[in-house]
Amino acid sequence: MAEQADAIIVGGGLAGLVAAAELADAGKRVIILEQEGENSLGGQAFWSLGGLFFVDSPEQRRLRIKDSRDLAMQDWLGSAQFDRAEDFWPRKVAEAFVDFAAGEMRPWLHAQGMRWFPVVGWAERGGALAHGHGNSVPRFHITWGTGPGVLEPFVRRVREHVSSGRIALKFRHQASRLIKIKGAVTGVAGEILEPSTVERGQQSGRGVIGEFEFNANAVIVTSGGIGGNFDLVRKNWPKDRLGPPPKNMIAGVPHHVDGRMVAITQDAGGAVINGDRMWHYTEGVKNWAPIWPNHGIRILPGPSSLWFDAKGNRLPAPYLPGFDTLGTLKHILSTGYDYSWFVLTQKIIKKEFALSGSEQNPDFTSKSWLAVLKSRRAKGAPPPVEAFKQHGEDFIVRDNLSGLVEAMNALTGEKLIDHDHLLMQIEARDREIDNPFAKDAQITAINGARNYLGDKLIRTAKPHKILDPANGPLIAVRLNVLTRKTLGGLHTNLDSQVLDKNGEPIPGLYAAGEVAGFGGGGYHGYNALEGTFLGGCIFSGRNAGRHAGR
């Protein structure tokens, strides 16, 4: 028998939970379909660092950061570089989101119990002109509790509605078809998968034990992106802009982030735009204790590590750590290799290295100030970073440069790094440290970063000479391309209604979160400002839930 509800949500991640909570608050009966087990509720957001993009927040003002809606909009448009006819709705959603981030977003989340670390992070700094890509000021607010802390209020709201009977959670239900009658989407059909006992994030089975069909007045697709499906990533790779896709990649998301609902929604008439826009990181390292297949972790670097390509040539400005993700990716791939190197010191790794994700930041995730102080003020780097330094196959530690170069070449099996060439570049950089000013763009950037109190206190090491043994040992880190976010997706309007090929809303069909390019079919345009992925899930999920609830 088909089961009836007011709305069906396909995907139990952040966007789906937000939409479900809003619908149930409006008195609607909701079914959430999730192909993974119950322990995967929350989806990819669980694994995140929990960064949110706020504008002119109390945290910023306390650090004397002068931000505004106009400055944020300037940064967004300079980064997005909207240039296509189909960017009409992405731009409208972007403008509405910046208004949300500068207005209601923080107080609305604060009222639900969410809190943030007092030091605001300065991610994706750009490094070019004022009207170009990048954040002019720090805007990356780490949620107290990281990804689980972002999910907490929405999981709580959903669980309360489950108890009252308004929301039904259907785990191990894999959607395979959207039911359409007389042009309107009226339900979802698919398979019931075999029970799974794997841990959150681990690869689960796909054995089928039954079928289902649910009917509703509205269906909201919130199934996430394609980062766990390397074949789809390569198929959509923008070769004209970034060059050929990497032969070797590591996965920043679990295997179930496979993009299958995109094609299913297209079969129901939904249009996809900006499928070639995507966001992959260049600072990926292989997880020494993997949870999902090809599991990679992103290094969140401060500005001081020296960045070299596979042949040992220093990357030019603005391709500095933390400045221009896609520009750096394009430059690295232009060398004919899909990896690069950081060379740094123990002083740099101690103060500047962080690893992205809730599991790599147990102190923030635990919401314990004592744990944060113990971890961040210890003699070495934070324990998860030190563990990667000790166990990670991409990390090399040596007391001198000759030993470091020998190990770098041994790790790749290619003798691409010439000791004397590397030495020349590092020595030239070290000579720039003798004065409080320099012509080296990276030294200038480091000095600029330390003008911001937050960076000076916990994020940017005091400038020092790389080759001085007092600052050692020397460390090299091989960096891999790490798949992560889909910037394009299902074409939607500001109410998260899915549009057809003619730009008209399909009755009864919505999409939110990453499957919709975080809103509009790609509200980031070509570049992301960070903290805008979770924020986009919250914003588009809220819009979908509220509009469908009306």
CATH code of the domain containing 387: 3.90.700
Residue 297 has pLDDT above 80, yes or no: yes
Q: Would you say residue 231 lies in a domain?
A: no
86 residue type, one letter: E
Q: What is the pTM of this model?
A: 0.97
What's the Cα-to-Cα distance from 23 to each of 69, 533, 536, rounded to whole Å?
Answer: 29, 22, 18
* Residues spanned by the domain of 383: 280-482
Q: Three-state SS string across 398-458, please?
A: ECCHHHHHHHHHHHHCCCCCCHHHHHHHHHHHHHHHHCCCCCCHHHHHHHHHCCCHHHHHH
Distance CA 157, CA 205 (A): 29
Looking at the fold, whether 81 and 195 belong to one and the same domain comes out as yes
Q: Is residue 192 part of a domain?
A: yes
Domain boundary residue, one of 459, 482, 505 = 482
With cut-offs at 50, 70 and 90, classify the pLDDT of residue 1: very low
Q: Does residue 393 form part of some domain?
A: yes
- Going by pLDDT thresholds of 50, 70 and 90, the confidence category of residue 2 is low
Non-local (6+) Cβ contacts of 366 within 8 A are: none
Tell me, yes or no, whether 494 and 473 share the same domain.
Answer: no
Domain shared by 510 and 476, yes or no: no
Confidence of residue 380 (pLDDT cuts 50, 70, 90): confident
Q: Are 261 and 223 in contact (CB under 8 A)?
A: yes
Say if 64 falls within a structural domain. Answer: yes
Query: Pick from 458, 482, 506: which residue ends a domain?
Result: 482
209 and 356 part of one domain:
no
Do 524 and 446 lie in one domain? The reply is no
Q: How many domains does the chain have?
A: 2
Is position 289 within any domain? yes
Q: Are 460 and 524 within one domain?
A: no
Say if residue 516 is in the same domain as residue 452: no
Same domain for 336 and 456?
yes
What is the pLDDT of the chain when averaged over all its residues?
96
Task: Assess whether 469 and 434 both reside in one domain.
Answer: yes
Q: Above 80 in pLDDT, residue 19? A: yes
Based on the fold, state whether residues 472 and 493 are members of the same structural domain.
no
How confident is the model over 91-103, as pLDDT tens digits? 999 999 999 999 9
Question: Are 400 and 450 found together in one domain?
Answer: yes
* One domain for residues 402 and 544: no
pLDDT-based confidence at 245, cuts 50/70/90?
very high
424, 449, 482 - which closes a domain: 482
Domain assignment of residue 233, yes or no: no
Task: For residue 20, tell me if it sits in a domain.
Answer: yes
Taking residues 172-192, report their average pLDDT.
Answer: 98
Task: Provide the CATH number for the domain around residue 542.
Answer: 3.50.50.60
What pLDDT is attached to residue 379?
Answer: 77
